[in-house]
Amino acid sequence: MNQSNKNDILKLLGSPSSKSIFDNDLWIYIERKTDPSSLIGFGKEKIILNNVLILEINSMGILEKKEFLDLDDMKDIKFTEQTTENQHKKNTFIYDFLSSMRQKINDPLGKRKRK
């Protein structure tokens, strides 16, 4: 580390799946491979590979920190079961728009069952 720069990373890995800018640039590369399960699974896909590479790049464009997460690491992440009630009965245009965008991000091909 502290030797590779943005150009080296782009040459080796290509464009990141996602970028975030805080104090430093955060580049996220996602590799996911699924396999359709048996007929009994009713079309559900089994996740075979789920790798995430997180690269932190400083303001000078030099790789400062890297973190690699695989499928086993993802199982260790705890999510809260709590939900928040919506206190507004009438949805605004912005709420509807953001909900639509969230749905498209979560299910870009429209394969999930709608609730």
Summarize pLDDT for 77-86 with one digit per residue, the tens. 666 777 776 6
Q: Are 19 and 28 in contact (CB under 8 A)?
A: yes
Give the pTM: 0.55
Can you list the domains of the chain with their CATH numbers?
Answer: 6-75 (3.30.1450)
46-63: average pLDDT: 85
Grade residue 17 by pLDDT with cuts at 50, 70 and 90: confident
d(CA 55, CA 27): 5
d(CA 78, CA 72): 13
